[in-house]
Amino acid sequence: MAGGHGDAKVEVFDAEEDVAVALAKYIARLSDVHTKGKGLFTVVLSGGTLIDTMRKLAEPPYLDTIDWSKWHVFWLDERVVHKTDPLSNYKLAYDGFLSKVAIPPNNVYAINDTLPAPEDAADDYEACLKSLVEKKVLELSQVSSFPKFDLMLLGMGPDGHVASLFPKHPLLEEKNRWVTYIKDSPKMPPERITFTFPVINSSAYIALVVTGADLAKAVHIALGNHEPSDILPVQMVSPEGELTWFLDKPAASKI
């Protein structure tokens, strides 16, 4: 089923396997458009279940047909831990996806895990993005002046959080920083860095990939017809470009 919600496109698939198939097709199409059009493709990954749902990209036909050499990969949020730590979003993405495809290692922009203080790690990642703007790997949005990524792949937690932007947290209101930090994340581990909403919402394309019955309540709040109470972080996702929700039936069961 496909439908619209405001400016967003909402696609509901029978099962998680069908979401994985559709997501790979969607990403491959955008990769083709951007690599042929401007010679590179900037992609932002989340952690969590998203990485497993991307699994079809590391299989034929995509494994051999996507121009991986033109991909540049970033993280929407990262835990301030070593890259070998089981809690690292980099490790999750490396083990489940990056180690299986031919993206040049120099095009993979992981957190600097030698910096133990979250504020330093956030400053360092923001400086990395700024240097990539100078090198013309990243462009700035003409609307917001924040960096404009080609594609952001977002997951969502059962509390409606996206990236490391949690309900009722002051970071939801950040208006200036590109990358910021949190030391009191309600989800472990507490110290993380995260893109801010101005950056998220400057994207050309955002896919919100949400599977599983435990997310149905937050999906209902975000997409159902009822009076809003507290706004969930996921409801603040509103890109300059195109937003598409990829849902399986269990996640969409309360809409």
Ligand X SMILES: O=C1O[C@H](COP(=O)(O)O)[C@@H](O)[C@H](O)[C@H]1O
Residues at the contact surface with ligand X, assessed by CB under 6 A = 46-50, 76-77, 89, 155-157, 164, 187
CB nearer to ligand X: pick between 89 and 201: 89
For residue 113, the one-letter residue type is D
In angstroms, rounded to a whole number, what is the distance separating the alpha carbons of residues 154 and 54? Answer: 12
CB nearer to ligand X: pick between 55 and 63: 55
CB nearer to ligand X: pick between 200 and 204: 200
CB nearer to ligand X: pick between 76 and 223: 76
Q: Which residue's CB comes closest to ligand X?
A: 48
**Greatest CA separation found in the chain?**
47
Measured from the CB of residue 218, what is the shortest distance to ligand X in angstroms? 10
CB nearer to ligand X: pick between 22 and 76: 76
In angstroms, rounded to a whole number, what is the distance separating the alpha carbons of residues 106 and 124? Answer: 16
Residue 60 DSSP code:
T
Residue 145 DSSP code:
S
Measured from the CB of residue 165, what is the shortest distance to ligand X in angstroms? 9
Three-class secondary structure of residue 13 per DSSP: strand
Q: How far, rounded to the nearest angstrom, does the alpha carbon of residue 245 sit from its chain's CA centroid?
A: 12
Measured from the CB of residue 234, what is the shortest distance to ligand X in angstroms? 10
Residue 95 DSSP code:
H
Cα distances (Å, whole numbers) of residue 133 to 13, 22, 136, 204: 37, 31, 5, 16
Question: Residues 129, 127, 187, 164: what is their CA dihedral angle, to the nearest 10 degrees?
Answer: -40
Measured from the CB of residue 50, what is the shortest distance to ligand X in angstroms? 6
Q: How far, rounded to the nearest angstrom, does the alpha carbon of residue 239 sit from its chain's CA centroid?
A: 12
Measured from the CB of residue 121, what is the shortest distance to ligand X in angstroms? 14
CB nearer to ligand X: pick between 42 and 46: 46
Measured from the CB of residue 37, what is the shortest distance to ligand X in angstroms? 28
